[in-house]
Amino acid sequence: MSLLRILIVDDHEAVRRSIRSVLSTRVNLLVCGEAVDGEDAVAKAKTLRPDLLLMDISMPRMFTADDASGVETVAAAHVAKSDIPETLLLTLDKVICARQSTNGQNADGSSRADSQPQHL
State how many domains the chain has.
1
110, pLDDT greater than 70: no
In which domain, by residue range, is 38 found? 4-119
**Do 120 and 76 meet the contact criterion of CB atoms below 8 Å apart?**
yes
**DSSP symbol at 61:** T
Question: The domain that contains 110 carries what CATH number?
Answer: 3.40.50.2300
Q: What is the mean pLDDT of residues 92-111?
A: 70
Comparing 11-25, 41-55, 106-120, which segment has the lowest mean pLDDT?
106-120
Q: How many residues does the chain have?
A: 120
